[in-house]
Structure 1
């Protein structure tokens, strides 16, 4: 079997459900994409996929797929958004739509309504879609669309429609201004006090309470905060400033190296860029705006801001630093980082390395991406809430 045939077969596999143990995402196909893009041997990719299915880094195996239970159509597809049910039915729906209209048309029709929910499933639905687009896997893209509908949690971009605050002339300066307000308004205390209050029963799926993380994010996005929705003027430009956003989230990652949550902002931003490329040109800046809003919602919920002085020091260190891409030591360093990624059971690490190596090459060797790529994360411990049975 050729390498490309193996990858196609793995990404088209329908043996397992998209989640396990309630809301934990099946990451197997994400790992396949990352390992393939990094040049892993086909047998190593197959071995990883098989081993992950038996036991994920969380200690649970993958689960059998749920059969379709309701017919989903163009008339009722919105009725089940975010209900965390009918994943297989959504797959059938988007598969059928693609057969009739073609994948490009389906993406352009449904992405505008799905994008506000990009943070759902802690960004993994978006990652599934965007990384499927990256590797041009038709079935993975269909699964990604279905997963975005299944796990939809809106970041409410409609709240920002009438707001066009200046807030900095680039992504880093915009974030610095928000950090200033975070400290000045003591917003960490506001978030903590809000999350201590009893949650309203409506609007957030009860399964997310087992997560803790996803529940906090959903609650913060449900109530919002003005700083999250004061979009910078540069975000209204026709072409999104992807490179600035990548630099920003990588800077945040280096401010807390190995942080599991911030890592997802890097890998989901890669997904969002692929999605923007597949979307209609007129909504591409909306993709970046949704990312900005959702990113801030995640950072607020987890209180991930560090002192401005630390961010500024890191920015001073890295903003103009560029490696010699022809130097032997650069190649050796990347070989070591990629080699370590190949040995990881925690699939988030090869994903991190793939995205940052790609950025290092795309930007002519910006040092920040090589520096961050070697800062691996660890599988987090599950909270005590996982002792409760899952809610489907």
Structure 2
């Protein structure tokens, strides 16, 4: 066995062991949510060593971890929907879903949960969806069960666009322009993203002005790519914490939808994907309004030094961070940039500032991570 292969297997085993240990942690942590499993998976995907994974877990356990309540009343499988929006049910529902997966597999539970309740990707400030995506990426049943339990118990439903004539459907960028024109500059109280999103949902103007965009029927990639491009532009423009979660949340949505498209037949996707895409658009729009609905700025000029480091060099820096948002943002930007590399490769490398008409999303993802990480 080669040294590289042995290293990869050791890293995978270490990650699995640490994710198993994380199953004892509560949904929330000290002053935050339980980012630990998401950060560890992102670190692993960015080629962190087994020692680095153990180091990250140890510091999280010491500083932030809260252990989950083990004295809980069991939830019967047929009653799982009663836990919708009941965050105190998370430990019991996590166990219920874990047993369900062990007996019938991941696919059965995914269809049950995503098909029976309205999809709410903004739940837990997008963290439930991110946790689900990462769990699916590494195939960890405990993480998938935890993520689905978090989606249910932390369910944050947002208004959907009112049905309009098909002639009124628009692109997401045009829809943001409408929201900015009508709702720019509004402030929604509370320090937490979920608090702000709930306030947006209660604003009658959000329901009134929320446009309807064209949704996917059998392939989600087009809308997700459109939203993801807008998200990284907003993050570059605002440096806002909410816009960071829009970037990582869209990456998670892509992972989940691509998993569904690989694993499920087309006739099921025809029903399932539109039920996921409409709430995804509403969550994105609500987050945009929560951060102030700023008019989307023209693409910037990017100086050469912002693009000087390549991804391997940036990832080597990212894996040394203990900041969970820096870790996840670096991973999401790296992965999302791959969708635009053919566009970038068609343009010549240069040492002069890259002008707005030469910018593509791959540049923004790279420059955003470069700006985030210390020199």
Scaled to the shorter chain, the TM-score interval is: 0.7 to 0.9
Match of 2:276 among 287, 308, 313: 287
1:367 Cα deviation (Å)? 1.6
Aligned to 2:338: 361
Which of 150, 154, 162 in structure 1 is aligned with 2:153?
150
Per-residue deviation, 1:331: 8.3
Give deviations 1:191-246, integer Å, cap 9, x for gaps: 55xx6xxxxxxxxxxxxx7x5432221132244523564211x2254322222121
Deviates more, 1:144-153 or 1:117-126: 117-126
What is the CA distance between 1:104 and its match in structure 2?
A: 0.6
Matches of 1:238 and 1:102, distance apart in 2? 24
1:176 aligns with 2:157: no
Residue 390 of structure 1: aligned partner: none
- 1:254 paired with 2:236, answer yes
Alignment CA distance shift 1:36-1:276 (3 Å): same
Is 1:7 matched up with 2:15?
yes
Q: Which runs of 4+ in 1 moved over 6 A?
A: none
Unaligned runs of 5+ in 1: 56-60, 196-208, 324-328, 379-392
Partner of 1:300: 289
Alpha carbons 1:168, 1:177 under 8 Å: kept: no
Q: Which residue of 1 aligns with 2:115?
A: 112
Residues 33 and 295 (structure 1), Cα distance of their counterparts in 2 relative to 1, 3 Å cut: same
Distance 1:90 1:362 in 2: 36
Given candidates 187, 212, 218, the residue that maps to 2:198 is: 218
Partner of 1:200: none
Where do residues 76-155 of structure 1 align in structure 2 (5 Å cutoff)? Answer: 76-155=79-158
CA contact (8 A) 1:131 1:271 kept: yes
| 2:271 is the alignment partner of 1:268 | no
Displacement of 1:137: 1.5
**1:212/1:354 CA distance change after superposition, 3 Å:** closer
User: Residues 307-344 of structure 1: CA distance to partner in whole angstroms, max 9, x if unpaired?
Assistant: 34xx2344xx69xxxx9xxxxx9784323322331222
CA drift of 1:165 comes to 6.0
Could you tell me whether the CA contact under 8 Å between 1:127 and 1:268 is conserved in 2? Answer: yes
Q: Matches of 1:218 and 1:330 in 2, distance apart?
A: 38
* Structure ranking higher on relative contact order (CA contacts 8 Å, 6+ apart): 1
Using the alignment, how far apart are the partners of 1:231 and 1:135 within structure 2?
34
Bigger Cα displacement from structure 2, 113-122 vs 6-15: 113-122
Task: Output the TM-score relative to the length of structure 1.
Answer: 0.76
SS in 1 for 2:147: helix
Q: Is the 8 A contact 1:163 1:229 kept in 2?
A: no
Q: Is 1:312 aligned to residue 298 of structure 2?
A: yes
> Shift in Å at residue 164 of structure 1?
5.2
Number of aligned pairs? 333
Are the counterparts in 1 of residues 329 and 369 from structure 2 also a CA contact under 8 Å?
A: yes
Q: Which runs of 5+ in 2 are unaligned?
A: 1-8, 261-267, 345-361
1:269-290 per-position Cα deviation (integer Å, ceiling 9, x unaligned) = 1222222234441222332221
